[in-house]
Chains A and B, each alone.
Chain A
Amino acid sequence: MKSRRALSTVVGAVFAIIALTSTVTYVSYSMGILDNYNQSVLAKNQQLSDVNKEMFQVSSITVPNNKLNITVTNIGNIPINFTKIWIQNTTATDWVRSYTTAGSFVTAGGTLKNIGQNIPVYINSANSYNVKLVTSRGNTQQFTVNSIISTKLNIQLYAFPSTVLSGFKSQIVLVVTNNSTGTLANLTPAVSVSPTTGTPTCTLGVASPSKVDTLLPGGTAVLSWPVTVSGSNNDVCTATVQLPNGQTLQIPMTVTVVSLSSTTYSQSSGVVTLDYTSFRWTKNGQWNSDWQFNNGYVAFSMTLTNNNQTAGNYKLWLSQNTMLCLYLVPPTNNNVATTFYAVKSVNANFPDGSTGLTSYSPDYFQGIPNQGGSSTVYFGATGKGNHTPVFLGAGTYMGFLVVYGKFTVNSGDNTGGNYAQTLPFIAVISN
């Protein structure tokens, strides 16, 4: 009986071993398969994750020498390999090219420059292009390089200032905003200036910058030109700016000339003004226009203008107190003014003490008409209303006129207002 039990045990054990071996083999194989499948799923997930992580930005597009120069920034956190660039000339029909971009590899956060410089495509500024960059993971990014010829732009033209002093410069400023969806290339405006009112001289300066290579969508470019204008008051120079797409803008620049208006002259410069070019001195009846003479008796003449704008035949009647005061410079102790009172006239036999001067008498003898009237006034007496000549010692003098008078129609009237004013900027040298 023992031997029979042993035989059946052996047979059962053999079958059991076979069954177990088969089962273990199958399970192991299944697990291996599942492991491979799992690895594939993980790898696919990683690949998709990398595709999603891959991010880049076209940061600059320029077209130097009619060749594309694209700068791309890797804004993701994995390296990017650009494998291909597609260029489609959308102005032409069925013009599509693709080129491999060997070595276009950029690390995370890095910048890749000069994409497009090595491909045999020359950008014609008259055409528009679609450009697409393709990465090794299959991501693409497309942008447009539009021809400015076919794109209407938001442009504004200014002149700073628009009213220009004759002989000075104004600055023409062109502001161009790319309101299209594509990048613009070779923005080169044509500018001219010409007189449109009067005959001013309009001179256009050098542009800064002369052109804009590329203008990204939404971007704004500012170009400016100096313009020198000169001419008469209210002459107008007009600047004309034309873009390659035909858009034209004009801006006028009005010439203005600095002058004091007669109506406001009394406010700006004084009621009584002195024509400094009319200054004369005499020692012997011969009038001289310079400011230097030998010491001794001397008399002066000057032309005064009455800028009072009050109408009604009013005049400024000068008082006998009107005088020219001269002080030594540099100042000395007890520096007393040498005064030359107004006289009616300085005669040819000046400085004769009795007849060389004609006394300013009666008072308010000389009247200067309102509203711009002028009159020559003589100075040379030692006191008001007399004809004694003044001896001016040697020295360097500065001085001023002291004008007294009244605004009336007639010399003897007492209805007008009295007036007094000083007039500076006089200097003489008595050797």
Chain B
Amino acid sequence: MKRTGSSHRGLSTIVTAGIMLSAVAVLGSAVVTWSNGNLKAFEMALSNTAISNTNKITESVAIENIAFCSNCGSVNSKNVTNVTLTNTGTVSVKITQIQLNSTAITSYYYKNSYSYSSSSCPPPSGTSTCLPITIPPKQSYTVSASLKYPKTWGSQKPDTITVTTARGSIFTTQAAPP
């Protein structure tokens, strides 16, 4: 019986080729899968960043009116400032903080019968800490920001009112109490 060398070489070549193909397929698939995953992650990050920034750019709040209320907290307390905000942008705006002369307001007064009381933010009357509030586009909202006793709003000198949104936008105005 005569053995031929070509048949040995053929088998090893096939095996080798199979192994190489398998390795390439596995490694290639892994690389492709990994890169696709990364790209997806980048896409998501880019998308989130873009949407966030776009919304931040788009949001616009006008501090429409500042009314210093003498008796809104208690009689002659002079610690409540009614801040009327109007969403002049095209996306809803969430108000997270109101500052009066750099003092963050943590107490908001609501009076049931008052026309500018909040209806969406409980309780219906009395002192509340209920922020944030969300203002839909083209809507106005009045927040009664109350300084903690014995602080009062200044008299005959400008007070600075700063409004901060959840997206980080800051809107500022000045008003002088009576």
* Given A11-B28, A90-B178, A98-B84; A44-B58 close (CB under 8 Å): yes
Within 8 A of A (CB), among B90-115: 115
B123 to chain A, nearest CB (A): 21
Task: Report the bound CA distance from A94 to B115 in whole Å.
Answer: 12
A60 to B140, CA, bound (A): 28
Q: Is the C-beta of B60 less than 8 angstroms from some C-beta in chain A?
A: yes
- Asked whether A41 and B57 contact (CB < 8 A) given A15-B32, A132-B65, A136-B88, the answer is yes
Binds B, one of A31-39, A147-155, A303-311: A31-39
Q: Is B7 an interface residue (CB 8 A)?
A: no
From 11 to 37 in chain A, residues with beta carbon under 8 angstroms from any chain B beta carbon are 11, 14-15, 18-19, 22-23, 25-26, 29-30, 33-34, 36-37
A138 lies within 8 A of B28 (CB) = no
Interface string of B62-102 (1 = CB under 8 A from A): 10110101111000000000101010110000000000000
Known contacts A33-B50, A138-B86; A11 and B60 CB within 8 A of each other: no
Residue from the list B46, B58, B64 in contact with A40, Cβ < 8 A: B58
Contact A33 B57 (CB under 8 A): no
Chain A residues with Cβ below 8 Å from B57 are 40-41, 44
Q: B170 in the interface, Cβ–Cβ < 8 Å?
A: no
The reply on B39 being an interface residue by CB < 8 A is yes
Residue of A nearest to B64 (CB): A134
The residues of B that contact A84 with a CB separation of less than 8 Å are: 64, 140
Given the interface contacts A11-B28, A94-B72, does A22 sit within 8 Å of B36 by beta carbon? yes
For the complex formed, measure the closest distance between the CB of B77 and the CB atoms of chain A, giving whole angstroms: 11
Distance between Cα atoms of A47 and B88 in the complex (Å): 10
Q: With A43-B58, A137-B88 in contact, is A30–B65 under 8 Å at CB?
A: no
Given contacts A36-B50, A138-B60, contact A26 B88 (CB under 8 A): no
* Shortest distance from the beta carbon of B152 to any chain A beta carbon, whole Å: 14
Q: Across the two chains, which residue of chain B brings its CB closest to A27?
A: B39
Tell me the bound Cα distance from A47 to B21 in angstroms.
60
Interface positions, chain B 9-58, Cβ under 8 Å from A, are 17, 21, 24-25, 28, 31-32, 35-36, 39, 42-43, 46-47, 50, 53-54, 57-58
* Distance between Cα atoms of A18 and B32 in the complex (Å): 7
Q: Are B43 and A36 in contact (CB under 8 A)?
A: no
Of the listed residues A29, A94, A132, the one surrounded by the most CB atoms of chain B closer than 10 A to its CB is A94
For A238, the chain B residues whose CB sits under 8 A away are none
Q: Which of A18, A37, A90, A138 contacts B54 (CB 8 A)?
A: A37
Residue of B whose beta carbon sits closest to that of A140: B64
Size category, B interface: 35 or more
Residues of chain B within 8 A (CB-CB) of A88 are: 67
Closest to B25 in A: A11
| Number of A-B residue pairs having CB atoms within 8 Å of each other in the complex | 90
Given A36-B50, A96-B67: A19 and B60 interface contact (C-beta under 8 Å): no
Is A7 located at the chain interface by the 8 A CB criterion? Answer: yes
> A167 → chain B, closest Cβ, in Å?
55
The B-contacting residues of A in range 90-126, CB under 8 angstroms, are 90, 93-94, 96-98
The number of chain A residues with a CB under 8 A from chain B is 39
| Contact of A143 with B by CB under 8 A | no
Chain B residue numbers with a CB within 8 Å of A4 are: 17
Please measure, in the bound complex, the distance between the C-alpha atom of A18 and the C-alpha atom of B28, giving whole angstroms.
Answer: 10
Are the C-beta atoms of B71 and A93 separated by less than 8 Å?
yes
User: Which residues of B sit under 8 angstroms from A97, Cβ to Cβ?
Assistant: 115
Inter-chain contacts of A29 with B (CB < 8 A): 43, 46-47
CB distance from A56 to the nearest CB of B (A): 15
Closest chain-B Cβ to A219's Cβ sits at a distance in Å of 24
Contact A94 B32 (CB under 8 A): no
The smallest beta-carbon distance between B18 and chain A, in angstroms, is 11
Query: When chains A and B are docked, how far (Å) is the Cα of A97 from the Cα of B35?
Result: 61
**Are A36 and B36 in contact (CB-based, < 8 A)?**
no
Given A19-B35, A22-B39, A33-B47: A134 and B86 interface contact (C-beta under 8 Å): yes
Cβ of A400 within 8 Å of any chain B Cβ, yes or no, is no
B160 to chain A, nearest CB (A): 17
**In the complex, which of the residues B25, B28, B71 contacts A94, with contact meaning CB atoms closer than 8 Å?**
B71
Interface status of A391 (Cβ within 8 A of chain B): no
CB pair B46–A30 under 8 Å, yes or no, is: yes
Closest to A26 in B: B39
- Chain B residues, Cβ within 8 Å of A419: none
B43 A26 Cβ-Cβ under 8 A: yes
For B57, the closest partner residue in chain A by CB is: A44
In the bound complex, what is the Cα–Cα distance between A274 and B94 (angstroms)?
Answer: 103
Chain B residues with CB under 8 A of A279: none
Cα(A69)–Cα(B45), bound, Å: 55
The 3 tightest CB contacts between A and B, nearest first, are: A138-B62, A40-B54, A138-B88
A–B Cβ pairs within 8 angstroms, 14 of them: A11-B21, A22-B32, A23-B39, A25-B39, A36-B54, A37-B53, A40-B58, A44-B58, A94-B67, A94-B72, A134-B62, A139-B62, A140-B62, A140-B64
